[in-house]
Structure 1
């Protein structure tokens, strides 16, 4: 214990006893004391009180240092503070004995063994304190790559190899020992293979796409894969096969490689994200698809079928099943789990420029190089936060005016901008709390707000809304209940339903008045036409017909007084008399056609009867008029046109059809009226009459009258079967 003076005691959910003393904090667990002093998340050594919250974090009240928070971390870090040669780590490797070797930038080579760090530098024979590459061979040698040559560490001693010994270049960027006993050394001047004591060099002249070799890997089929600045190469049977962006790679700068149990090769690039080569086809995953970064320094795989990638933006975990689904087109994006300082890392930025930049040790732990030491995590022992965070709505701002949150809020008309501020209470990693929100009545689905804690809405329509927000903790566990409140935005008077109804009513009245105006205008035009027809009829009756009648009378007188001997003159005189009588009859018919006296004093059925009787007088034709349905008054326009159509049809039957019987039927129903004129005459070919050169003007006129009334006219006639003229019009025209 740090001090014998005990001030506070607390027991956590795991049964550990926390002891606050005047000299620091101590934990008693598994019959063992562990102490926390000033600097170990403590601002003062005098511990007055301790409290464990629902997420398992420990709050510590100190005497004069305020409040401290002690929480579990997923990562364990090793930096200069723990004895590392330098914080900037370039490469990591575990040897066959379980020792972790760490190559640093300027601090030499560090060995982590039994929890203690030992560092080797140029003083111990290392060619440079910048260690870029590490790997061990089957003989127990550790090979160390530096900018100043290749180092072999055996029995505590270093031996240096340079270009003078056969290396392609002294700048060693990557090392790999294959199963055949070959050591592959990647330099910035090409690829070197060390077999026994013999060096073989491969460059662009031998098929490499670029001489800078950043990563080397051997797959399950014993193929050697080489990542360069110019693409990815496969070395087999002493030949290189190269893949570039032309073949589907997202970037030609390949800096990390890993093969999984399904023989899929995972390729980390600089600028192109992650690639998968499976069955000869490439699939790319970039920031456009959900990756945090397009630079992938290292790729490791855990025992739970997940890939762990290191990048400038931190370490992130990807589920391989989700990656496969994305490559197959089943899902449209990927959702990585990102780790950073909230999880125990000193910094989220990992480091590149070395090989390997990450390593999975034999016990399943994952080691990553960062710019602030080595970050280690055990995926099988990650303690997940199983407490969904409570959600609260902190503030509502309407047009930059703050409103206190309430269960229901009513806003006056004209409010245009609404800002909803919310939060979630999770102190394990507050920066990793994510939110989704939805304004029911406006949003059709949840809006992913990410880590943002405010939602903006502008120019909402008046009405009732419900704002809901939910949150997830640092491990992605959502609180589906979240927080919510009701919102009622009152409308202006011109946005109310009664105002819309009033506008609709006014519009309907305007349309009705327009219709009435148009109807009156048509009726006045029809009255003017009718007045003009009556005037012409009067003129014909009072002048032309009377003059012809006078001529006829004079001719009659001449015929009576003419001597009997004037037979030839009498013959011509009789012809003139006949022509004059015919002319008088035609003039009277024209007067009838122009002015229908039958409708002046009678309704339409009586007028049709009168017309039929007049046209069949002095003929053998029998005409009958029938009315069916309930008689309804018709407008003068419809009555006049129906009478003219009936007159024309009766006249055609008398003059052309050689009919014996004509049946006129006037049928009324609720909305329409039908006039049918049927005879038993000889009939005719209606289509020929309609389309041929002998087009009947009377039929055209009847059709035009029917259309003018908003109705239709049909003629059914066949040779020897009689004729029926049927006109159907709406009662209101």
Structure 2
């Protein structure tokens, strides 16, 4: 291809010897070696989807990118490189002021008129006192403007002459803003020394009545909408005023500690303004505010300017130049910001867009201009920048995102699904990129590995994501890209799996679980069998002990009681025959029988004491003794204090049975005879002896009074002492009339008695 039409309507042609020729607005521009083309001999050219022109020359491959901005400088006909304030002349030219030069400049022709050739700059050098500042231009006549001289007085420039302006009723304050309405009224805002604002009609100045104004009130901006409403942004206090027929009909108050700055009218019913770090919209009498992410710093400080063009709200300050879609702004102002989350963002412009310096000069709000042909002008430190918002080159939507390779410990993995990585990799490198031929420098990238990265990771260096010591699992790697000022595009994903080691594989884990289950089952079964065996052995031991006890009792009964009672029976039968024949002899025989019966009774008593108490079959001595004494006083209103000290010990059955019966007998005696309200039972297991003490707070007793050996079926003190002596112990009684009784038993323990903690 030797020629192509660009998106802005210009035509480029490849030439042999003259480089690339571009025809636009009747003018032909040449791009050759001085413009960094590799060679003046061009062979072919190709237009891509991003609007760039690719050119093959004898020296290589070049790219021509059409930038949306054109920046004019001294090489383009300007008298100076850094313009100041900008005002549109009624004739289509542009008034420009350089703060360092006394002259006023009218820039015309060339790009200003969309004509071929350089711009033409005409300088108006004012007479003494010299310096003038442009305050506004006339909407009726070309090359007519309103100026402020060095004496801070308003002057009128027309037909190349400057004359003072002093209407009737002029307050004499310093003018700050000048604006002509459609009815030839000249609106003037004065400084904050009580000047306020007003309008000149028919040669007479009229101050606008303002009930909320103060002596320091002043207006920083005045404009008129298509319906004839005049809008005034007033300070001290800050309000936005709508004026009809020179009367205030509506007031709007800004957010706290903010003011209304800059205003632009959209259509006939909507006004946009700057309010602190936000944009403010007034529509049908309702004030709404919109915050755009990333714009707060640029709007802060009162030096920003706004313009409306081609469906966008443009903003500029000493921090940058950008724009926001108006439809998204309206949605946000209507309370539907959630629906426009993807479109409510600022699109910034920089040097890649043709701006030599992407910011306003001096941060002055009058450094922007919207001319009648729809173009926007910006006074920047790098020159006068112009853009046609309605015919901007198409920006690429989103870069093309690619995942290039996956390396595991230096070995490249195949990207063919599924991607499988050997177990326990020390390092995994995932390389990715995003291609954008238009402006590659604006590409933004983020990546994220699900399950590893908590949030998206910004790419600031090489386009590679590195992960170490990833465990065996399935992963999904995601990467997304977008152009600066846009929103993230669609994600590109890569699913991969890190293989488990042999001991992490499902079959090994399954076998391990089955083996552990089987081992547990065998262990449980063995434990159950052992417990069952021990329980059976205990039952058998108890059965054998009980059977042995029964056998012993049977033998004792046979050898003692039965034989004794048999002898008594035979003797009684013999006495029966002697009673009538020999009474004296019968009496002697009965005496012997009574003695024999008393001996049998003592033997029976001994056997009863030797029988093991049944309570000790299920409990140890401490538990059995506590249960026995509590049962003894169960129906009585007596408090029991039962304590055990030391390590509990298993002792011979005779010792445990004797201590149990002595304790129960002592408690029973106290319940029955002492009248006590408290009984204390203390069982102490010492290292070499065991002691039992039963105390009461009853009436006491006389320890020297003989006590029967048996009363009511219970053994008395003498019997308790005898039984204590039989197991090698000693029983003592300490009692005083009226102060209670204490019965104590101390029994030494055989060596090797088993103990356990209590």
Q: Give yes or no for TM over 0.5.
A: yes
Matches within 5 A, 1:96-245: 96-106=90-100, 109-115=104-110, 117=119, 119=121, 123-125=125-127, 131=133, 133-136=135-138, 141-144=144-147, 149=152, 150-159=154-163, 166=171, 168-169=173-174, 172=176, 174-178=177-181, 181-185=185-189, 187=191, 192-196=196-200, 207=213, 214-217=220-223, 222=229, 224-226=231-233, 231-234=238-241, 243-245=253-255
2:437 counterpart of 1:427: yes
Gap change, CA 1:336 and 1:469, over 3 Å in 2 = same
Paired residue for 1:497? 506
Alpha-carbon distance in 2 for matches of 1:139, 1:483: 60
SS state at 2:15 partner: strand
Gap change, CA 1:552 and 1:106, over 3 Å in 2 = farther
Paired residue for 2:755? none
- 1:127-147 Cα offsets, whole Å, 9 max, x none, are 776857535466875334688
Alpha-carbon distance in 2 for matches of 1:388, 1:396: 24
Paired residue for 2:13? 18
Gap change, CA 1:113 and 1:27, over 3 Å in 2 = closer
Paired residue for 2:52? 57
Alpha-carbon distance in 2 for matches of 1:242, 1:388: 41
Alpha-carbon distance in 1 for matches of 2:48, 2:14: 19
Larger radius of gyration: 2
Q: Contact 1:91–1:133 (CA<8 Å) still a contact in 2? A: no
Gap change, CA 1:472 and 1:274, over 3 Å in 2 = same
SS state at 2:338 partner: coil
Counterpart pick for 1:364 among 354, 358, 374: 374
Matches within 5 A, 1:245-284: 245-246=255-256, 252=258, 254-261=260-267, 263-268=269-274, 272-276=277-281, 280-284=286-290
Matches within 5 A, 1:474-513: 487-501=496-510, 504-505=513-514, 508=517, 511-512=520-521
Post-superposition shift, 1:441?
8.0
SS state at 1:124 partner: coil
Matches within 5 A, 1:695-710: none
SS state at 1:364 partner: coil
Counterpart pick for 1:300 among 285, 298, 307: 307
Gap change, CA 1:506 and 1:11, over 3 Å in 2 = same
- 1:605-637 Cα offsets, whole Å, 9 max, x none, are xxxxxxxxxxxxxxxxxxxxxxxxxxxxxxxxx
- 1:687-711 Cα offsets, whole Å, 9 max, x none, are xxxxxxxxxxxxxxxxxxxxxxxxx
How many aligned positions are there?
A: 558
- 1:670-722 Cα offsets, whole Å, 9 max, x none, are xxxxxxxxxxxxxxxxxxxxxxxxxxxxxxxxxxxxxxxxxxxxxxxxxxxxx
Paired residue for 2:463? 454
Gap change, CA 1:60 and 1:264, over 3 Å in 2 = same
Post-superposition shift, 1:285?
0.8
- 1:475-501 Cα offsets, whole Å, 9 max, x none, are 969986x97766554444554434544
Counterpart pick for 2:355 among 334, 345, 355: 345
Alpha-carbon distance in 1 for matches of 2:132, 2:429: 53
Paired residue for 1:320? 326
Post-superposition shift, 1:36?
0.8
Counterpart pick for 1:287 among 293, 298, 318: 293
Paired residue for 1:676? none
Alpha-carbon distance in 1 for matches of 2:267, 2:562: 125
- 1:407-466 Cα offsets, whole Å, 9 max, x none, are 577655444554544334433222233446565787899x58589772535344334556
Alpha-carbon distance in 1 for matches of 2:402, 2:359: 32
Alpha-carbon distance in 1 for matches of 2:317, 2:385: 13
Alpha-carbon distance in 1 for matches of 2:215, 2:537: 98
Alpha-carbon distance in 1 for matches of 2:317, 2:407: 39
- Structure 2 residues without counterparts, runs of 5 or longer: 113-118, 580-596, 619-758
Q: Contact 2:190–2:219 (CA<8 Å) still a contact in 1? A: yes
Alpha-carbon distance in 2 for matches of 1:138, 1:548: 148
Paired residue for 1:538? 547
SS state at 1:287 partner: coil
Counterpart pick for 1:82 among 76, 79, 92: 76
Paired residue for 2:535? 526
- 1:542-580 Cα offsets, whole Å, 9 max, x none, are 345766787588769868957699xxxxxxx9xxx9xx9
Q: Contact 1:132–1:145 (CA<8 Å) still a contact in 2? A: yes
Alpha-carbon distance in 2 for matches of 1:516, 1:37: 95
Gap change, CA 1:33 and 1:268, over 3 Å in 2 = closer
Alpha-carbon distance in 2 for matches of 1:126, 1:534: 138
Gap change, CA 1:264 and 1:33, over 3 Å in 2 = closer
Alpha-carbon distance in 2 for matches of 1:12, 1:231: 55
SS state at 2:352 partner: helix
Paired residue for 2:676? none
Paired residue for 1:712? none
- Structure 1 residues without counterparts, runs of 5 or longer: 1-8, 566-572, 595-733
Paired residue for 1:657? none
Q: Contact 2:182–2:228 (CA<8 Å) still a contact in 1? A: no
Alpha-carbon distance in 2 for matches of 1:552, 1:221: 140
Alpha-carbon distance in 2 for matches of 1:212, 1:80: 38
